[in-house]
Amino acid sequence: MPFTLPLGAKAPDFCLAGTDGKVYTLASFHAHPTLVIFFTCNHCPYVIGSDEVTRKTALKYSDKGVQFVGINSNSKETYPEDAFDHMVERMKTQHFPWVYLYDETQDVAKRYGALRTPHFYVFDKNRALVYCGRGVDSPRDVSKMTINNLDQALEEVVQAKSITTPLTNPIGCNVKWKGKDAHWMPPEACDLVR
């Protein structure tokens, strides 16, 4: 079973290039009380199908101290369309309201235990994990959506309430790992968040 960051764990640090030409670490977002890190990509139909709902959620909470950060960890060898230059182009055409980072080594995905695209992680002001899982219950076809778990979690976070449903199963494509070790996790991954 792949390791996934447990609730209450601190957000692992990273140092990743953004599509805007800047380099970001966890500290880059210190001014925002709430941080949403989500693993995403360019090609996945579950990502594409729910991008506009994610956009609406990000915009809804942008003036409430919530910062969205998308991370693409997919192997470009598996899906060439997930390469960095295609990420840059996608942001130029879509103008998504989040920072879009490239995890080429896949180390960040392994530290977080990202399982699917999209896979959302919500961290509070202390950067402790308070919500993990799906954005909505029907990301590939949002016309069939009955609940937006991410929106619900963020509404409770910004109101300093406890999260009603802090853990859900992410729905989407598997993260495209390099080589044949599709579910490989380094033994030290658990130690990174202790």
Check residue 179 and give its pLDDT: 77
The reported pLDDT for the residue numbered 183 is 41
Q: CA-to-CA distance for 188 and 97, rounded, in angstroms?
A: 34
Integer Cα distance of 50 and 38 in angstroms: 13
CA 118/CA 51 separation, integer angstroms: 9
pLDDT at 186 over 70: no
The strand pair at 66-72 and 99-102 is best described as parallel
Neighbours of 166 (CB within 10 A): 17
Closest to 133 measured CA to CA, from 101, 165, 159: 165
Tell me the average pLDDT of the chain. 91
Task: State the pLDDT at residue 4.
Answer: 87
Among 1-5, 105-109, 188-192, the minimum mean pLDDT is found in: 188-192
Residue range 143-153: average pLDDT? 98
